[in-house]
Structure 1
Amino acid sequence: MSADFEAARFQEHLRSLRQRIEAQLAGCTEYGPEVPARLAAAIRHSLFAPAKRLRPLLVLMACEACGYGIEAALPAAAAVEFIHTYSLIHDDLPAMDDDELRRGRPTCHVAFDEATAILAGDAMLAQAFEIVAANCPAWALQSCLQELARAAGPGNLVGGQYDDLNPTELEQSLAGLERIHRRKTGALIKVSLRMGGAIGQASATQLAALERYGDCLGLAFQIVDDLLDLRGDESKMGKKTGKDSEAGKLTYPGLLGEAASQQRAADLIAEARQAAGTFGERGAYLEALARYVLERNH
């Protein structure tokens, strides 16, 4: 089988899964009259901006890798994208990263106003748990709720963002930088895989492989993000580049240099692909997604 055929098959699978994800997200945002129209518009503005949908894809691909159909995992996929989007809305606020462009659109507080953006993020965080509670299969419900709450909470996503904004001397090293990003970026990536595995009734060995895959993929994703912030095309990225270095933030290229950062990302992706190999042929899409993360240009 040619490499071109494999790449085409992977891209077709991505398109198919993304279509299912978009339909699920659309269903979740069919709000009734009790939701203020401007609040609903702010949520949709951020949620339906052009996006890779990496985290919901990981939920579905993890479920597939365990030999289970994706239908039962679609609500969990939507929930994790709600939390990811809420975190972007809040990260972009003037009190945080103060960004004006996200996913090729004006950020939520620019398109609407700061109060509406804060409330849109609050609403999406709460709704994520409603989506899981109402739709997750019974055998995975407690696990998914508990793990999603932990990943989104003070010890992971929120704590990682806090330390990114307020780095101490402990964070001025590779270990400190990775500690931030294992929480800020990696936690939602890992929980996406763990939720997909729980719904797919993964064995302990399979869950461990998904955990290792997610840990490596999350760090590699952030390294590539840091590299793209230096050399990426703003028109493809959909956001302003060079902002982290201008703000004096510690980044992988700033700490290691560009070449060493690229090599670190490649090594992590190689390890992620090895973990995906645990699933045999069923892990092929997870392996291809890891390559896609390393090679992406936006």
Structure 2
Amino acid sequence: MKEGRSKTTERRSLRLLEARAGRSAPLEVVERRKAMLGAVDGGVWRTERAPIVETLGGVRVLRFQPPAARRGVVLHLHGGGFRLGCPEMIGPFSAALAERCGVEVVLPAYRLAPEHPFPAGLVDARAVLAALRREGAGPIVISGDSAGGGLAAGLTALSLDEGHGPSGLVLLSPWLDLTCESACYQANADTDPLFSLGAAQLAAELYLQGLSPRDPLVSPRFADVAGFPPTFVSVGSGEVLADDGRGFHQALRAAGVEASLLAVDGMDHVAVTRGLTLPGSAETFEALAGFIDRFTR
């Protein structure tokens, strides 16, 4: 068993260190990024207590501080289909979590596809995690929403193979299977206004650029989850990604991992990170905050 795990660690580490040339972003992605940056500049996601902006592990990060002494760290990876999104979009959620749980919330601006395909985002996440450990951050919970949930689960699998897993894992509407074969893409097409089969297929192609979607670091749904830390999974029952979260939860439980699933009817994709007044957000926020409390008090 030790020999097998050692070989897996070597293969994954070497793979992550290999640079892959990407390609230019499609015009639609470029325009959506411009609009997002315009919203940031316009203060759409501005918070009352501004985050610290710095470079950590070679990656630009936002650090939301708790009002008193830090009890631990939540390393959160934002969503956006691996090609969109930015840490500022998760600012209000992160500020609320820092205040509620007394933790520091760290948001990396990881590199995006298609200019930076897999494994660039995971490399950046790992670099930030390593830097936090060097700081002596205390208990670390890895968290992510949507595509960031896939990165969070992949980072957890990788860090376990490298011998230092996190205290806990939070997955919010996670995208964990880039084969895009889930029946939910069809069954929930009419109830998910934010994501679709077509969008998922395009995002996966831009991210993978020829790699297999069944690689466990690409699609953690195929990972060996034995030894994973306690995990909290949240989904809206009408999301096209609902079965990604439910299936991962089942896999964790089958492997003997402590895992909880909160499936909320009528809650949209990543609602809790988009606004705490959206349907299902308050319930989800309190549940995940209670989960984080276990590791930081």
For this structure pair, what is the TM-score category when the shorter chain's length is used for normalisation? 0.3 to 0.5
Greater share of helix: 1
Q: Which has the larger radius of gyration?
A: 1
TM-score (norm 1): 0.32
TM-score by length of 2: 0.32
Greater strand fraction, Structure 1 or Structure 2: 2
